[in-house]
């Protein structure tokens, strides 16, 4: 199954939600958009639409920036038994 969530990097400082709607909405229905400064995430209803968007938008010149568009990596789950300050006998 193809991922539906994309990472979008190298965003210009003045990017807005409407920019994401305009740039990515033409590839399919968006279910989530998150902008976090100079990167963000966009999620599509369909994996096929996300695949089309990656192929078309990676390297796209937007407001003087070449966008980096790729499938988002799954967030790492924190193992409650590893890391500092935990565990039996520590």
Domain boundaries, the chain: 5-71
Contact partners, residue 4, CB within 8 Å, separation at least 6:
31, 43, 44, 45, 46, 47, 49, 50
The per-residue pLDDT for range 69-84, each reduced to its tens digit, is 999 998 777 666 665 6
pLDDT digits (tens, 9 = 90+) for 36-48: 999 999 999 999 9
Instruction: Please determine, for residue 5, whether its predicted confidence score (pLDDT) is greater than 70.
Output: yes
Reported as a pLDDT band with limits 50, 70 and 90, residue 21 is very high
- Prediction pTM value: 0.81
**Tell me: domain 5-71, CATH 1.10.275.30, correct?**
no
Residue 35 has pLDDT above 90, yes or no: yes
Predicted pLDDT at 81: 64
């Amino acid at each position: 199954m193809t991922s539906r969530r994309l990472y979008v990097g190298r965003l210009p400082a003045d990017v807005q939600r409407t920019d994401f709607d305009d740039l990515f909405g033409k590839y399919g229905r968006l279910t989530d958009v998150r902008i976090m400064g100079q990167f963000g995430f966009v999620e599509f209803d369909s994996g096929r639409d996300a695949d089309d968007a990656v192929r078309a938008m990676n390297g796209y010149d937007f407001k003087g920036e070449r966008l980096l568009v790729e499938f988002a990596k799954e967030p790492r789950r924190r193992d409650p038994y590893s890391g500092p300050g935990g565990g039996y006998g520590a």
